[in-house]
Structure 1
């Protein structure tokens, strides 16, 4: 009984070693490594494979070390399939495997690529008991590992002589591109990890494990996570408009946002499952957007083809969305009162800025009303209505989770579905 704690024989030992391979959390670092390779250009398969294998060994190290610390040292877990000695041998084997990959990366791509590969193992090995005792370390360890894998996968290709850039993505492998992608995934996956930790709120609190959910409560943690999702999506839009990402990249945001909306009302376990799979789709669509760039030849739609009615047409579209949002949450009357108060201030502000030449409206009907274009009057109604529609919609989403009531009464755990403590900590993160 070398590795297996409760059984004997070769089959039991192999099963114990295999138990530390968690595909849900193993695949993203490997996929991130290959994504970095794709961003760099036509990837060198040998170099990419070595770096991806290094990512596997790094995460395996994290899972074995986490189980060893939580069960054999801390006594937090109720069960673990491996013996203490088996954990130590597996840690040594995984570390040696990573070291071999590190040497391979150095030979194939140079010392810089190797230096950017090493942090994956450091993060995995230090996950427990060093990093998982602080809110930042417990929450951002795994997302940081993904970001490092992405950057390392790209730099490995950049240092490989066999790497070439295919037609259509010239310059795609420039450092700002992969760094921007890594920053997006760091933010988004941190949000997913915050949601993942919600389900262990009671248990983590009982052992003084300071996750975000423990510090601020599950309901507020869910809001923080979705704020991070919104920031990640906005970062993709910034990158697209500035030319760092391809024009197709926002489609990936739309798909992940759809999954996130569905997951918002779900219990923590189900929400985590949905969000992790949503990040798979997010990454897959970004791969398509980066490699094939399907929308690049299309360009932006020219709405000025509507002529003088262009401005009014855009206002009609956003005004319709605003009306639907407000109607859906029964907030039309409240919004109308707020807009009525805002309108006089907005009117004076708009008239003054036009009068002194701060801006000019080119594509408009040409009709004025009370000294300003008629489109501006509509604008001063549509924009506040749209803002209020979004605000009221978000506010209505808090109800089913008990977010507001839970935060005010200090009963987050009771108010939120799925927040009850489990028998042991989850397999979230890098073996969290």
Structure 2
């Protein structure tokens, strides 16, 4: 019995088997594995190659399972290069290679390296028959697999997991989940007609686009924040620029074009991250020291962020809402602040020394600024999403 549905002979069989190599969707997980290796110091190139092979065959497994389920079992796809028997044999072969690699990692590194490499294959096996039928599974399956590819690539170099690696994995999952939400919206009409519950079907195309924007925005914001605080290399912030640039263009495109643009934006994001982490061009750059303002340091930061908060509430038309919120929270915050300062929970060295009602004057401003900023952001987001 032939393995290929179109044509006979070795050439047709080889073409059908090779058709399940999808470079567009394979590139990000492979890049994540490579990035993890670079982040871990890239001290063991052969182990990196072994881990890349495990990731590759897990992805191949996912594509074969998708075709087997969507075409041969559910009849959702119009065509597929492999016969049912061809799918089963390809699945058996790719799974065998995955486990050969996993066993190799267990022997050459340790069992933890093997365990970190298995989730990608598990997602591959479960995605089409189980995960793809639920909005959470459909959205997070692929990104979670990429997150584990990064952690595995890092672990085989270091035999440990760091806060930096975990932070990057969480960022990748968040950003790619946003891209996946946009991608699923391309099949909105068809998915809705067959009762497939993607995010777009559940919350609508506009709601899906807003969620995707929020996820990608959260990921980019996390990169900037963690770069500033030094949790991840400071040069990582450079990777935000190309991604945000392309994402702004994709924002006005339809789901199909937006997906193509965002996938390529993720390639740029990965590429710049690899270079930034490898070369670390901003390694010598330190955070500006505003303590040069001496006792006015805390006060100056509150003036800056107070101006931001005021701009937000004015822009959102929420001045009254912010004032009401501050008025309600002020007594509680005041007592809380007084108590924590009195019992020595924290101290404020860079302040003017001026107290009002038992607490520093800067803390009174803090109680005004924070709720106002929260209200401003909340109202502005609701206004833009309406």
Provide the aligned length of Structure 1 versus Structure 2: 382
Q: Structure 2 matches for 1:120-199, cutoff 5 A? A: 120-158=120-158, 174-199=161-186
The aligned counterpart of 2:20 is 20
Alpha-carbon distance, 1:341 to partner:
5.1
Cα pair 2:322 2:376 within 8 Å, conserved: no
Cα distance change of structure 1 residues 51 and 361 upon mapping to structure 2, 3 Å threshold: closer
Q: Partner of 2:234: helix, strand, or coil? A: coil
Q: Structure 2 matches for 1:206-355, cutoff 5 A? A: 206-233=193-220, 235-236=222-223, 239-240=226-227, 243-253=230-240, 256-306=243-293, 314=301, 318=305, 334-338=317-321
Distance across 1 between alignment mates of 2:91 and 2:371: 58
Cα pair 2:242 2:268 within 8 Å, conserved: yes
The aligned counterpart of 1:64 is 64
Cα distance change of structure 1 residues 263 and 309 upon mapping to structure 2, 3 Å threshold: farther
Distance across 2 between alignment mates of 1:129 and 1:351: 55
Distance across 2 between alignment mates of 1:200 and 1:295: 42
Cα distance change of structure 1 residues 313 and 91 upon mapping to structure 2, 3 Å threshold: same
The aligned counterpart of 1:84 is 84
The aligned counterpart of 1:168 is none
Q: Structure 2 matches for 1:376-387, cutoff 5 A? A: none
Distance across 2 between alignment mates of 1:114 and 1:339: 52
Q: Report the structure, 1 or 2, having the larger helix content.
A: 2
Distance across 2 between alignment mates of 1:370 and 1:114: 60
Cα distance change of structure 1 residues 112 and 387 upon mapping to structure 2, 3 Å threshold: closer
The aligned counterpart of 2:114 is 114
1:101 and 2:88 are equivalent in the alignment: no
Alpha-carbon distance, 1:150 to partner:
1.4
Q: When the two structures are superposed, what TM-score results if normalisation uses the length of structure 1?
A: 0.72
Alpha-carbon distance, 1:367 to partner:
9.5
Alpha-carbon distance, 1:122 to partner:
2.4
Distance across 1 between alignment mates of 2:125 and 2:351: 62
Cα pair 2:151 2:161 within 8 Å, conserved: no
Summarize deviations over 1:308-350 as a string: whole Å, max 9, x none. Answer: 77567656655666677678x6x5xx34444565676688789
Distance across 2 between alignment mates of 1:103 and 1:372: 62
Residue ranges of structure 2 left out of the alignment (5+ in a row): none
Alpha-carbon distance, 1:297 to partner:
2.2
The aligned counterpart of 1:7 is 7
- Tell me whether 36-45 or 379-388 shows the greater mean CA deviation: 379-388
Alpha-carbon distance, 1:238 to partner:
6.6
Distance across 2 between alignment mates of 1:304 and 1:339: 30
1:203 and 2:190 are equivalent in the alignment: yes
Cα pair 2:334 2:367 within 8 Å, conserved: no
Cα distance change of structure 1 residues 185 and 355 upon mapping to structure 2, 3 Å threshold: closer
Q: When the two structures are superposed, what TM-score results if normalisation uses the length of structure 2?
A: 0.79
Q: Partner of 1:56: helix, strand, or coil? A: helix
Cα pair 2:322 2:375 within 8 Å, conserved: no
Task: For CA contacts below 8 A with separation 6 or more, give which structure has more relative contact order.
Answer: 1
Q: Partner of 1:154: helix, strand, or coil? A: helix
Alpha-carbon distance, 1:71 to partner:
0.9
